[in-house]
Chain A
């Protein structure tokens, strides 16, 4: 009888320690770029082991997948993607080595905007590179959309790790509160601006969701290359638009070549007003190491440039 009890106790101890070990093993999560990596870290906390494929200050559009990316994808439990054809490399990467992971598209449920002209341009090494897509992928530039991303992440984590679901949902709820406060802060900052000073210029057309949410208008060159024959005419057209719409500031972007912006700034007689963070966070020691800091930095920079003179 005592042996039998000892055996049960031993089995229970083994089962308990196995369970504890299972609980201790974090969820392997791959996030395609830094902004959704930050969302994942907020929701997952210490229950996930996070790998971000495209890091700070890097352009996801031109990312060339590496062997380490393929290995991470193959070992992932959950892969978080933006979708809307933002991560052009992902299909190739999955083809390289496959993945059994659940692939979550974080823009599911977002009211997306169609992309005028079927795409937008990035400026890399002085050249315009077209990013084709039927829908504008930069949905995170509106904080209410970011909350949808966070809900989708919590759902993906819950599906992969039911035991941790309560923790994920609690983290998501806490973070959603912080996002609500951020949203209010940005609206207040923009509301304080003169109504005739609400237009700025950026290199690539990544702020249309910000524009729709907060009412700041963004102009951007479409396909203008500093190397191309069309430069003079296209830049002249943009300069006219800058003057017509009384654009008050020109911003560089952390992922874009600044040469074109410097040319436009010279010709428009406007100074470069700073750097906005569009498709990637900054490095940890920069002004936008996480999403909330990024949006706060962008809103502050825009508000400072457009404030009444």
Chain B
């Protein structure tokens, strides 16, 4: 149950200064609170704790191993359980209300939402333009949730049909819905269905445009006006136009390492730019408008996980298998700083072996360290360790909600 902060004296809060600002009433307070959600690698559960006071913690049982996504402006954390055919939702307990020159923060305990989604292998989740969309890789459909309703605890999915089940995604863009398109060629056994590209549909799933070719399309992200997705031949960019989606394929240039592609993209929230993987030991900065569209960053070791900093939109972080965390300058496309933060985690072995995952929490990077049973708190400023938070089991996937706001 949400409650106003004034009545939540036991909550872990950082009260930064007694007065918010001179031009505000003196009983306003500036509050910063980050809440960390951690999925265990082996046990079906999510642990949540407040970063500033980790003893304030909660545990939520799940059906299977989770991948966690903050959605609906951070009001909810989606726990996607692909192997368990389930998606559960946890209200983060933190919500914001925008007032133009400031935003109010409202804080309560996190709580599981009773209703969940079930379907054959939910995988990619897209949270954009007020919609939360789950693609069911073995179902041949996606389900669309309204973000505002979800923030109020309502799980009321609308089904978006696809011609053939495949490992893809569905995303809103302007007045259109974009869906990945699978080939109709026959595949043997568990082989994945080839993916051909992206196509626009109306809300009922009726085609509203031609296929935009993007072989083996995978990984989608939004930044600015653009959605971008990785393909075998380049990156497909899409923006809403007056007459429907406008596609542009940016082919990989000859000066990039050959034989590899990007398939995981992150979109900056502040400037129109993407950061993608590129081969096991590389990253690529993608500018959808200006040339050069691609700038490659060679990493010293294979990449374990990477994330963008929403507070410093030209900054990213990548952890490599030697246990080093690197700060990435997206504007210069280079490693700006590095520091050792965990023991080595080899990228040999199964893709889903327990390895660290990163998320940003204000001026800290929080990193799961499964073998140590810890979440490590690393300062963005100098990559030094500010502290550790013990988490039972093997802490694995991680998501952060929260931020700064004003209480009245």
Residues of A within 8 A of B (CB): 62, 64-71, 74, 92-93, 95-97, 125-126, 132, 227, 257, 259
Contact = CB atoms under 8 A, between A and B. Distances in A.
A97 B287 contact: no
25 contacts: A62-B225, A64-B224, A65-B224, A65-B270, A65-B271, A66-B224, A66-B273, A67-B330, A68-B287, A68-B290, A70-B271, A70-B314, A71-B331, A92-B271, A95-B270, A95-B312, A95-B313, A96-B268, A96-B271, A96-B312, A96-B314, A96-B331, A125-B174, A126-B242, A259-B242
A27 to B, nearest CB: 22
B311 A95 contact: yes
Interface in B187-232: 224-226
Given A96-B312, A96-B314, A125-B174, A67 B242 contact: no
B226 to A, nearest CB: 8
A66 B287 contact: yes
A67 B270 contact: no
B337 interface: no
Contacts of A126: 242
A259 B289 CA distance: 26
B224 to A, nearest CB: 3
B240 interface: yes
A208 to B, nearest CB: 20
Contacts of B330: 67
Contacts, number: 62
Given A67-B330, A68-B290, A126-B242, A92 B273 contact: no
Chain A: interface secondary structure? helix
A227 B224 CA distance: 23
B272 interface: yes
B7 interface: no
Chain B: interface secondary structure? loop
Contact of B240 (A70, A97, A125, A257): A125
Contacts of A95: 270, 311-313
A97 B225 contact: no
Nearest to B286: A67
Given A95-B312, A96-B270, A66 B331 contact: no
A92 B289 contact: no
Contacts of B331: 67, 70-71, 74, 96-97
Given A65-B224, A67-B331, A132-B100, A125 B241 contact: yes
Contacts of B240: 125
B175 interface: yes
Nearest to A64: B224
Interface in B300-323: 311-314
Nearest to B244: A125
A231 to B, nearest CB: 15
Contacts of A132: 100
A65 B272 CA distance: 6
B289 A66 contact: yes
A257 B242 contact: yes
Contacts of B175: 227
Contact of A125 (B242, B285, B287, B313): B242
Contacts of A227: 175
A60 to B, nearest CB: 14
B225 A64 contact: yes
A67 B174 contact: no
A135 to B, nearest CB: 12
A96 B269 CA distance: 9
Nearest to B329: A97
Most B Cβ at <10 Å: residue of A69, A74, A96: A96
Contacts of A70: 271, 314, 331
A140 to B, nearest CB: 23
Contacts of B285: 67
Contact of B313 (A62, A71, A74, A96): A96
Interface string B228-270: 0000000000001110000000000000000000000000111
A207 B152 CA distance: 41
A93 B272 contact: no
A100 to B, nearest CB: 15
Interface string B275-292: 000000000010101100
Most B Cβ at <10 Å: residue of A67, A125, A259: A67
A126 B225 CA distance: 16
A257 B241 CA distance: 11
Nearest to A257: B242
B287 A67 contact: yes
Given A64-B224, A125-B241, A93 B174 contact: no
A92 B313 contact: yes
Interface string B317-352: 000000000000011000000000000000000000
B176 to A, nearest CB: 11
A95 B174 CA distance: 27
Given A67-B314, A96-B271, 4 more contacts: A65-B272, A66-B273, A67-B331, A93-B270
A67 B313 CA distance: 10
Contact of B271 (A62, A69, A125, A257): A69
Nearest to A85: B100
A64 B272 contact: yes
